[in-house]
Amino acid sequence: MSASAALPRDDVAASRRSERNSKERSKSRRFRVPALANGILGLLVLPLLFVFLYGPDKFVEILSPGYMCNQSAPEALKAVRRDAVGILSFGDFYSTSAINLNVPASLLLSMETATNRKVGRLTYCTGIVTVGSGPEFEAAAEQAIIDYLKNEAKDPARYKRLAELTLAAYRKTRGQLPRQVLKAQYSVQILDNGNWSIQDVSVKPLTTR
Protein backbone atom coordinates (compact mmCIF):
# COMPACT_ATOMS: atom_id res chain seq x y z
CA MET A 1 0.00 0.00 0.00
CA SER A 2 1.38 3.39 -0.93
CA ALA A 3 2.00 6.22 1.52
CA SER A 4 -0.73 8.28 -0.16
CA ALA A 5 -3.31 5.59 0.63
CA ALA A 6 -2.31 5.49 4.35
CA LEU A 7 -2.90 9.21 4.86
CA PRO A 8 -6.71 9.05 5.18
CA ARG A 9 -6.50 6.34 7.85
CA ASP A 10 -4.02 8.47 9.81
CA ASP A 11 -6.41 11.41 9.58
CA VAL A 12 -9.29 9.28 10.85
CA ALA A 13 -7.24 8.01 13.79
CA ALA A 14 -6.13 11.53 14.70
CA SER A 15 -9.73 12.71 14.50
CA ARG A 16 -10.87 9.95 16.82
CA ARG A 17 -8.12 10.71 19.30
CA SER A 18 -9.09 14.38 19.25
CA GLU A 19 -12.74 13.48 19.83
CA ARG A 20 -11.84 11.24 22.78
CA ASN A 21 -9.66 13.95 24.32
CA SER A 22 -12.47 16.47 23.92
CA LYS A 23 -14.95 14.16 25.68
CA GLU A 24 -12.49 13.54 28.53
CA ARG A 25 -11.95 17.26 29.01
CA SER A 26 -15.71 17.82 29.05
CA LYS A 27 -16.18 15.11 31.70
CA SER A 28 -13.32 16.56 33.75
CA ARG A 29 -14.99 19.97 33.73
CA ARG A 30 -18.31 18.46 34.79
CA PHE A 31 -16.63 16.67 37.70
CA ARG A 32 -14.69 19.76 38.82
CA VAL A 33 -17.82 21.93 39.19
CA PRO A 34 -19.58 19.62 41.72
CA ALA A 35 -16.29 19.12 43.58
CA LEU A 36 -15.86 22.89 43.94
CA ALA A 37 -19.47 23.30 45.12
CA ASN A 38 -19.00 20.49 47.66
CA GLY A 39 -15.82 22.12 48.91
CA ILE A 40 -17.54 25.46 49.46
CA LEU A 41 -20.48 23.75 51.17
CA GLY A 42 -18.05 21.93 53.44
CA LEU A 43 -16.39 25.19 54.45
CA LEU A 44 -19.78 26.60 55.41
CA VAL A 45 -20.95 23.50 57.28
CA LEU A 46 -17.80 23.01 59.39
CA PRO A 47 -18.14 26.28 61.39
CA LEU A 48 -21.84 25.57 61.96
CA LEU A 49 -21.04 22.08 63.18
CA PHE A 50 -18.35 23.48 65.47
CA VAL A 51 -20.79 26.02 66.96
CA PHE A 52 -23.41 23.29 67.43
CA LEU A 53 -20.95 21.03 69.27
CA TYR A 54 -18.98 23.54 71.33
CA GLY A 55 -21.09 26.71 71.44
CA PRO A 56 -20.67 30.15 69.85
CA ASP A 57 -18.46 31.39 72.69
CA LYS A 58 -15.79 28.77 71.93
CA PHE A 59 -15.91 29.66 68.24
CA VAL A 60 -15.45 33.41 68.72
CA GLU A 61 -12.78 32.90 71.38
CA ILE A 62 -10.71 30.87 68.92
CA LEU A 63 -11.14 33.53 66.23
CA SER A 64 -10.39 36.40 68.61
CA PRO A 65 -8.75 35.58 71.97
CA GLY A 66 -10.07 37.86 74.70
CA TYR A 67 -13.27 38.59 72.76
CA MET A 68 -15.58 37.11 75.37
CA CYS A 69 -14.25 39.15 78.28
CA ASN A 70 -13.86 42.37 76.29
CA GLN A 71 -17.30 42.31 74.69
CA SER A 72 -19.11 41.23 77.85
CA ALA A 73 -17.53 43.96 80.02
CA PRO A 74 -20.49 46.43 79.82
CA GLU A 75 -22.93 43.71 80.87
CA ALA A 76 -20.51 42.39 83.51
CA LEU A 77 -20.20 45.89 85.02
CA LYS A 78 -23.90 45.80 85.89
CA ALA A 79 -23.31 42.67 87.96
CA VAL A 80 -20.02 43.99 89.37
CA ARG A 81 -21.78 47.16 90.50
CA ARG A 82 -24.13 45.20 92.77
CA ASP A 83 -21.13 44.01 94.79
CA ALA A 84 -19.11 47.22 94.44
CA VAL A 85 -21.71 49.45 96.12
CA GLY A 86 -20.84 47.89 99.45
CA ILE A 87 -17.17 48.80 98.97
CA LEU A 88 -17.11 52.24 97.33
CA SER A 89 -17.13 55.38 99.47
CA PHE A 90 -17.67 59.00 98.44
CA GLY A 91 -17.30 60.82 101.73
CA ASP A 92 -20.45 60.96 103.83
CA PHE A 93 -23.41 58.60 103.94
CA TYR A 94 -25.72 60.59 101.68
CA SER A 95 -23.14 61.14 98.96
CA THR A 96 -22.06 57.50 98.98
CA SER A 97 -25.62 56.18 98.87
CA ALA A 98 -26.69 58.61 96.14
CA ILE A 99 -23.73 58.01 93.83
CA ASN A 100 -23.74 54.24 94.24
CA LEU A 101 -27.45 54.01 93.52
CA ASN A 102 -28.10 56.70 90.91
CA VAL A 103 -25.00 57.31 88.79
CA PRO A 104 -25.17 55.17 85.60
CA ALA A 105 -22.84 52.18 85.68
CA SER A 106 -21.03 53.35 82.53
CA LEU A 107 -20.03 56.58 84.33
CA LEU A 108 -19.53 55.11 87.79
CA LEU A 109 -17.21 52.26 86.81
CA SER A 110 -14.87 51.28 84.00
CA MET A 111 -13.10 47.96 83.59
CA GLU A 112 -10.15 46.49 81.73
CA THR A 113 -10.46 42.75 81.30
CA ALA A 114 -8.29 39.71 80.67
CA THR A 115 -9.15 36.07 80.02
CA ASN A 116 -8.05 33.65 82.71
CA ARG A 117 -9.15 30.30 81.33
CA LYS A 118 -11.98 28.40 79.68
CA VAL A 119 -13.82 25.48 81.26
CA GLY A 120 -16.38 23.95 78.95
CA ARG A 121 -18.58 26.74 77.61
CA LEU A 122 -17.61 29.20 80.38
CA THR A 123 -14.88 31.81 80.00
CA TYR A 124 -13.42 33.07 83.28
CA CYS A 125 -12.45 36.73 83.29
CA THR A 126 -10.58 39.12 85.56
CA GLY A 127 -11.26 42.84 85.46
CA ILE A 128 -9.48 45.82 86.99
CA VAL A 129 -12.28 48.22 87.91
CA THR A 130 -11.70 51.94 88.42
CA VAL A 131 -14.16 54.53 89.70
CA GLY A 132 -15.28 57.29 87.36
CA SER A 133 -13.74 60.74 87.28
CA GLY A 134 -13.85 63.87 85.15
CA PRO A 135 -16.51 66.53 84.54
CA GLU A 136 -19.15 64.12 83.20
CA PHE A 137 -18.91 61.90 86.26
CA GLU A 138 -18.89 64.84 88.66
CA ALA A 139 -22.02 66.32 87.07
CA ALA A 140 -23.78 62.93 87.27
CA ALA A 141 -22.67 62.53 90.90
CA GLU A 142 -24.10 65.90 91.95
CA GLN A 143 -27.35 65.23 90.13
CA ALA A 144 -27.52 61.83 91.83
CA ILE A 145 -27.15 63.49 95.23
CA ILE A 146 -29.93 65.99 94.45
CA ASP A 147 -32.30 63.25 93.23
CA TYR A 148 -31.53 61.04 96.22
CA LEU A 149 -32.16 63.79 98.76
CA LYS A 150 -35.44 64.75 97.12
CA ASN A 151 -36.70 61.27 97.90
CA GLU A 152 -35.18 61.21 101.39
CA ALA A 153 -36.33 64.62 102.61
CA LYS A 154 -40.05 65.01 102.14
CA ASP A 155 -40.10 68.48 103.65
CA PRO A 156 -38.81 71.20 101.23
CA ALA A 157 -36.98 73.07 103.97
CA ARG A 158 -35.23 69.89 105.14
CA TYR A 159 -34.34 68.99 101.56
CA LYS A 160 -32.79 72.40 100.95
CA ARG A 161 -30.71 72.18 104.12
CA LEU A 162 -29.56 68.58 103.40
CA ALA A 163 -28.75 69.37 99.78
CA GLU A 164 -26.63 72.37 100.69
CA LEU A 165 -24.69 70.50 103.37
CA THR A 166 -24.23 67.29 101.35
CA LEU A 167 -23.16 68.99 98.12
CA ALA A 168 -20.77 71.25 100.01
CA ALA A 169 -19.22 68.26 101.77
CA TYR A 170 -18.93 66.33 98.50
CA ARG A 171 -17.33 69.22 96.65
CA LYS A 172 -14.89 69.74 99.51
CA THR A 173 -13.68 66.14 99.36
CA ARG A 174 -13.65 66.03 95.54
CA GLY A 175 -10.19 65.03 94.38
CA GLN A 176 -9.01 64.38 97.94
CA LEU A 177 -10.37 60.87 98.33
CA PRO A 178 -7.98 58.00 97.50
CA ARG A 179 -8.47 56.58 94.01
CA GLN A 180 -10.56 53.46 94.44
CA VAL A 181 -9.55 50.42 92.41
CA LEU A 182 -11.31 47.06 92.55
CA LYS A 183 -10.59 43.59 91.24
CA ALA A 184 -13.53 41.74 89.72
CA GLN A 185 -13.71 38.09 88.72
CA TYR A 186 -16.58 36.49 86.83
CA SER A 187 -17.48 33.86 84.26
CA VAL A 188 -19.29 34.59 81.01
CA GLN A 189 -21.14 32.61 78.36
CA ILE A 190 -23.00 33.53 75.17
CA LEU A 191 -26.55 32.20 75.29
CA ASP A 192 -28.34 30.78 72.26
CA ASN A 193 -30.28 34.04 71.86
CA GLY A 194 -27.05 36.04 71.68
CA ASN A 195 -27.30 37.58 75.17
CA TRP A 196 -24.54 37.40 77.78
CA SER A 197 -24.83 35.24 80.88
CA ILE A 198 -22.66 36.64 83.71
CA GLN A 199 -22.06 34.29 86.63
CA ASP A 200 -19.84 33.74 89.71
CA VAL A 201 -19.14 37.45 90.26
CA SER A 202 -16.77 38.46 93.04
CA VAL A 203 -15.43 41.95 93.77
CA LYS A 204 -12.80 43.08 96.26
CA PRO A 205 -10.66 46.18 96.80
CA LEU A 206 -7.38 45.96 94.98
CA THR A 207 -5.63 49.08 96.14
CA THR A 208 -6.15 52.77 96.80
CA ARG A 209 -3.82 55.48 95.65
Domain boundaries, the chain: 1-54, 56-208
Per-residue pLDDT for 2 more than 80?
Answer: no
One-letter amino acid of 164: E
Per-residue pLDDT for 130 more than 90?
Answer: no
Dihedral class, residue 177 (left if φ above 0, else alpha if ψ from -120 to 50, else beta): beta
Three-state SS for 130-192 is EECCCHHHHHHHHHHHHHHHHHHCCCHHHHHHHHHHHHHHHHHHCCCCCCEEEEEEEEEEECC
Q: What is the pLDDT of residue 143?
A: 93
The 10s digit of each residue's pLDDT in 61-113 is 554 556 788 888 888 888 888 888 888 888 788 999 999 989 988 888 888 88
pTM: 0.60
Per-residue pLDDT for 13 more than 80?
Answer: no
Per-residue pLDDT for 136 more than 70?
Answer: yes
Which range is least confidently modeled, 35-49, 57-71, 175-189, 192-206? 35-49
The 10s digit of each residue's pLDDT in 99-124 is 998 998 888 888 888 777 777 777 88
DSSP code for 69: H
